Structure 1
């Protein structure tokens, strides 16, 4: 599938064939693409929780106010982020760079994030958003549909997945074989309403 076609066809699908299974190689292919997503300073904030246990899926479904796709989709991935990844052995993120690049980037990284909690959180959430789009387009390329979700009790979900201190939950994505197509787009704003040139 062409990239533009995948972008156009990707929709938030709510209804999935509950008995459809995703081959392991397809899941691995999707996730191998996801971890190529760009992150600031190559920090790779994202951490992914794949929920495979049926009982756990049902608990997560309850935390998501009963939304069927949580339990019915072939795969459910919770996208989390380590807010403090910038300060967790940062030399890992530049290890393959020339020494002069490492010597420049490591102090820059510290100066950019240190003591700036809002920027740390914003950056982690941005990284998850980029990874989410990669995940959905890679899934579409392989013939799967997806549903990005933010409708859930964050505290309960954090408890269920044992979210570590210093981490946030960005969203979760259901991936599977659609049982029913998504509704037509609700109302696409025209490009000239959302695109400005040089300034608003």
Structure 2
């Protein structure tokens, strides 16, 4: 990658800010939304199981239904689309669809570093076997969050603005939008054209956020 390209990417990362006020007149086509979600789907995930589903909320009635669930945050009305990012509690069920073509083509070196397809599947199923474990939920949230971040960066790369929202009633969302028990709401991401600049924010200097080679024993965290 050229120095100019690197600089462009770094600028994109640094200039992405969470927007709360959107231009209600700006529309995105279904194809444009699908392009954003396609890019989001290239996020990394454990075993490449792709632990996410996206609910794209574009219609006026759906937006009005979402508004009280999102605690009255007006960006769900004004944004071109609000994407509800869901985490998959049963992502192990994706393995066959993802790796089936690999098996048919005999690409044994593509089994996520495992010696065989069966060895990989055995470990995946073992991890998901305990339904009472927090593992399923942790993995769903962890991996869906990676897709949500990639979605916001994709929006920025296309000249759009975005704003993630964790302040919503997840249970009410499940009921209102008929989400199957397999999925849990992780984030709402509003996407569109900002109507005003994002609120300025500061960041800790890296010296304040990095710990080299572990914490010292008995040191109080700050």
TM class by smaller structure: over 0.9
Give the whole-Å Cα distance in 2 for the aligned partners of 1:103 and 1:159: 38
Return the index of the structure with the highest Cα Rg.
Answer: 2
2:122 aligned residue: 107
2:219 aligned residue: none
Greater relative CO, 1 or 2 (CA 8 Å, sep 6+): 1
> After the TM superposition, which residues 61-140 of structure 1 pair with which residues of structure 2 at under 5 Å, given as runs?
61-86=67-92, 88=93, 90-95=95-100, 96=102, 98-99=107-108, 100-115=115-130, 117-140=133-156
Q: CA deviation at 1:3?
A: 2.0
Q: CA deviation at 1:89?
A: 5.3
Contact 1:26 1:142 in 2 (8 A): no
Give the whole-Å Cα distance in 2 for the aligned partners of 1:131 and 1:20: 24
- 1:85-136 CA-to-partner distances (Å, cap 9, x unmatched) read 21x2532232225355312211111122321621111111011110011100
1:39 and 2:55 aligned:
no
1:173 aligned residue: 189
Q: TM-score, normalised by structure 2?
A: 0.84
Select which of 32, 46, 50 maps to 2:56: 50
Q: CA deviation at 1:25?
A: 3.5
Q: TM-score, normalised by structure 1?
A: 0.93
Give the whole-Å Cα distance in 1 for the aligned partners of 2:37 and 2:212: 36
Give the whole-Å Cα distance in 2 for the aligned partners of 1:59 and 1:29: 25
Select which of 199, 204, 215 maps to 1:189: 204
Give the whole-Å Cα distance in 1 for the aligned partners of 2:157 and 2:182: 34
Gaps of 5+ in 2: 109-114, 216-222
Give the whole-Å Cα distance in 1 for the aligned partners of 2:88 and 2:20: 28
C-alpha RMSD of the superposition: 1.6
Number of residue-to-residue matches in the alignment: 198
